[in-house]
Amino acid sequence: MRISYNWLKQFIKLDWNSEETSALLTDLGLEVEGVDKYESLKGGLEGVVVGHVLTCVQHSNADKLRVTTVDIGAEAPVQIVCGAPNVAVGQKVPVATIGTKLYDKEGNAFEIKKGKIRGEESHGMICAEDELGLGEGHDGIMVLDEKLVPGTPASKVFNIETDEVFEIGLTPNRADAMSHWGVARDLRAGLIQKGVNHTELMTPSVSKFKVEKRTLKVDVKVEDSKLAPRYCGVTISGITVKPSPSWLQNRLKAIGLTPKNNIVDVTNYVLHELGQPLHAFDAAKIKGSKVVVKTMPAGTKFVTLDEVERILHEEDLMICDESGPMCIAGVFGGKNSGVTENTNAIFLESAYFNPVSIRKTAKRHTLSTDASFRFERGIDPTITEYALKRAALLIQEVAGGEITSDPIDIYPKKIEDFSVLLNFNNVNKIIGQEIPKETIKKILVSLDIKVNSVSDAGLGLVIPAYRVDVQREIDVIEEILRVYGYNNIGFTTKLNASISNSSRTEDYKIQNLIANQLVSQGFNEMMANSLTSPDYIKLSDKLKEEFNVLMLNPLSNDLSAMRQSLLFSGLEAVSYNINRKKSDLKLFEFGKSYHKMPSGYEENKHLTLLVTGNRQMENWNSSEKPSDFFLFKGYVNAILSRLGLEKTTSQPLDNDVFAEGIAYSTGKEILVEFGTVKKSILKHFDIKQEVLFADFNWGEILKLISTKIKFVEIPKYPEVRRDLALLVDSSIQFEQVYSIAKQTEKSLLKDINLFDVYEGTNLPEGKKSYAVSFMLQDNSKTLTDAQIDKIMSKLQQNFEKEIGATLR
């Protein structure tokens, strides 16, 4: 938000420089992010002075040049070569002295330098109006008032306005400070706390407002006072629409607005002056001379000022006449009811609209205007009529005309101020320092907060309705603290610390444990938006439309639902990186999925992994090798192993997400599903390479993690390895071999590993060969050959019996 310092000084007398004022505003919570210099004319005519032409003779070497001597208020006159046909002795002229920077129409600077023109020295330039940026004329030099004194700065002659503009980073809760008046109120409170005297707030007077005639009446009907709690209006006739005077244009330009015409400029001026949005309708375009504030049926078409046809929602509040809508209330005007150069009478509107209604309408139509910005945060309902009269008087000043109707003020139910009880002990407890009671009262009064009752324990307060962010005791304490000054709160040099006793299985600790493990394996953590497109549920039958958690007021259709799965937001990240030439990815995310179940809303926590591309970066000593399912399975197993959850059962996955995959479970609960994502899903995200995805049920995993630490003694006796080459049917999975072996020998068989698979020549049709290693160990003694042979013989028999395996 931009605040003009000159404009601010119209409300409060202040001789501080902008740096001091910036510091105070920042201390008050209105952070000044920067101060810009504004000049109504670029360069401010700095270096341009009034000159008096003393002599003027023909140049000896040029027919169209003259050599002049000019008094510019210096010790001696200067010689200037001039090509203007109208230069003459005795004239008072604008002179750009040596070193002056002038600017062309494109804003490019050129410096006036000492030089020679056809052999004659020239110490400056006598200027035409276009060279100074004061007009378009270039027929000759400007001739000034003969009463002017040589050496007078041109900036004083032409009333060049300079200003300093504060760029304030306004927080959303400070609706009260969205105007120069609002900033001045805060500044006054800060100055009073600093002990600065004469800090009265000067507000524009509307005492001269009067109804000259009652010749143009516009009836107003508000159909829903909840959406429009207060609505004011008045008609002004006999106006002339034209460019605004320079003072008004300069005020608007200083804060970054482009002047339109005197009527529109006044409404913008009052909006930034008082924080009250206004709208001017061409009275001749109001059918039936009647304004109706109401909602329209869904699907109604309406063309706004930007010539865009918009489809109205049934909750959009509209300003209508007898034939239809004229304006989206508090948001944007209509194409066919605005003020033009032919307008001679207007209906001026000033209203207080429901903030929630305006915010929803603005979001629905993706419109953000200065008016909606203020209405949706909450403006001051007490100044609606005052602002109307202020604007009407300004319009009469800059456009002429007469007030031709009594002001209309429809305000059926007054918006009440807020009542808050303030306890002095709570103030001192929250702030951490005792503030004198009289200081507290002084601060509150300076903020227009009325002290209704006083006791030893605290105060009964009445908060103005425009302070929508101050409705609780804690809000009042915050107000006291920011005006008192955070820098005035003392602090101790003593450092206090406490140690909390927390379980080793706390969620954040387990997350950090696994995150560190994944990072050490080359993964990067990602954080995706929980808001996503509701259309993603169409990519999987597991996701149901009725389970979608939809936003009431979404930022866009692509961000209108809470995600039911972390897969699709993860694939968005994969696609984003691949499109930027980052195709080798290992990503993980801790996040939640959201579901609207018949029993209520559910949030489930997940850990997801995404791997695609090559295993490692391209290198001279290793060839490229893509990440595959078995590498990915290793990552998944490593996580479960680190968490002590190795006793799981596995089963193949058959769903519409994975082309092939496995699920690990304990009992009825699935701990993790992982596998290769189907190409049909990848195609939706324009991904052409294989992507591996794992989805851990993190909530269930946390329940299963043991709080006890288990220690196992390092074995004293050696382990023994035996290998078998098994010839099995092609349909046999290693999982079956593993299960049979574990059931055959539960105590001495420590590990089973498949180290080779062969399918090809020299094998019967429909057969394959598994080369499997078996690690045997007894923790109490060394195994004998007889024991080992007995176990291996039993394994061989069971393999043959269960799956028809034979030794190669």
What pLDDT digit, counting tens, does each position of 616-673 carry?
887 888 788 899 999 999 999 999 999 988 888 888 887 889 999 999 998 888 999 9
In this structure, are residues 292 and 321 in contact, taking their beta carbons and an 8 Å threshold? yes
Q: CA-CA distance, 436 to 423, in Å (whole number)?
A: 13
Tell the residue number behind the tokens 């008094």, with chain if given.
71
Bridge partners of 219, per DSSP, are: 290
Q: CA-CA distance, 143 to 82, in Å (whole number)?
A: 14
What are the pLDDT digits (tens) for 695-724? Answer: 999 999 999 988 777 788 888 999 999 999
Q: Which two tokens stand for residue 379?
A: 């403006």
Q: Which two tokens stand for residue 1?
A: 């938000």
pLDDT-based confidence at residue 33 (cuts at 50, 70, 90): very high
In this structure, are residues 385 and 206 in contact, taking their beta carbons and an 8 Å threshold? no
pLDDT-based confidence at residue 310 (cuts at 50, 70, 90): very high
Calculate what percentage of the chain has a pLDDT beyond 70: 100
Q: Which pTM does this prediction carry? A: 0.68
Q: Which two tokens stand for residue 606?
A: 């997940």
Q: CA-CA distance, 390 to 203, in Å (whole number)?
A: 10
Three-state secondary structure readout of 111-130: ECCCEEECCEEECCEECCHH
- Does the pLDDT of residue 155 top 90, yes or no? no
Q: CA-CA distance, 654 to 697, in Å (whole number)?
A: 18
Q: CA-CA distance, 445 to 243, in Å (whole number)?
A: 42
Helix/strand/coil percentages in the chain, nearest 5: 30, 30, 45
- What is the residue-averaged pLDDT of the chain? 92
Q: What is the mean pLDDT of residues 490-510?
A: 84
Q: CA-CA distance, 204 to 387, in Å (whole number)?
A: 10
Q: CA-CA distance, 32 to 1, in Å (whole number)?
A: 10
Q: What is the DSSP string of 246-309?
A: HHHHHHHHHTTPPP--HHHHHHHHHHHHHS--EEEEEGGGSGGGEEEEEE--TT-EEEBTTS-E
pLDDT-based confidence at residue 35 (cuts at 50, 70, 90): very high
- Does the pLDDT of residue 65 top 80, yes or no? yes
Question: pLDDT value at position 798?
Answer: 93
Bridge partners of 71, per DSSP, are: 52
Q: Which of 57, 69, 75, 62 is nearest to 124 (CA)?
A: 69
Question: pLDDT value at position 499?
Answer: 82
- Does the pLDDT of residue 278 top 90, yes or no? yes
Q: Which two tokens stand for residue 337?
A: 């009811």
Question: pLDDT value at position 160?
Answer: 82
pLDDT-based confidence at residue 517 (cuts at 50, 70, 90): very high
Tell the residue number behind the tokens 């503030």, with chain if given.
435
Rounded to 5 degrees, what are φ and ψ at 493?
A: -85, -5
What are the pLDDT digits (tens) for 751-778? Answer: 999 999 998 888 888 899 999 999 999 9
Q: What is the mean pLDDT of residues 220-248?
A: 95
Q: Which two tokens stand for residue 134?
A: 């004061």
In this structure, are residues 655 and 669 in contact, taking their beta carbons and an 8 Å threshold? no
Question: pLDDT value at position 399?
Answer: 95
In this structure, are residues 615 and 627 in contact, taking their beta carbons and an 8 Å threshold? yes
Strands 585-597 and 524-525: parallel
Calculate what percentage of the chain has a pLDDT beyond 90: 74
pLDDT-based confidence at residue 349 (cuts at 50, 70, 90): very high
More confident call, 557 vs 283: 283
Q: Which two tokens stand for residue 714?
A: 């390092």
Question: pLDDT value at position 492?
Answer: 79
Residue 762 CB coordination number (10 Å)? 7
Q: Which two tokens stand for residue 332?
A: 């944007």
- Does the pLDDT of residue 589 top 90, yes or no? yes
Q: Which two tokens stand for residue 394?
A: 């300004």
Q: CA-CA distance, 420 to 426, in Å (whole number)?
A: 13
Q: What is the mean pLDDT of residues 283-290?
A: 94
- Does the pLDDT of residue 611 top 90, yes or no? yes
Q: CA-CA distance, 579 to 97, in Å (whole number)?
A: 58
Question: pLDDT value at position 381?
Answer: 95
In this structure, which amino acid lies at residue 774? F
Tell the residue number behind the tokens 């002795």, with chain if given.
89
Long-range pairs for 535-542: beta carbons < 8 A, 24 or more residues apart: 536/563, 536/564, 536/565, 536/568, 537/564, 539/568, 539/656, 539/680, 539/681, 539/684, 540/565, 540/655, 540/656, 540/657, 540/681, 541/655, 541/656, 542/655, 542/656, 542/657
In this structure, are residues 398 and 485 in contact, taking their beta carbons and an 8 Å threshold? no
Q: CA-CA distance, 105 to 548, in Å (whole number)?
A: 57
In this structure, which amino acid lies at residue 701? I
Q: What is the mean pLDDT of residues 358-386?
A: 94
Q: What is the CA radius of gyration of the chain?
A: 40
Q: What size, in residues, is the chain?
A: 808
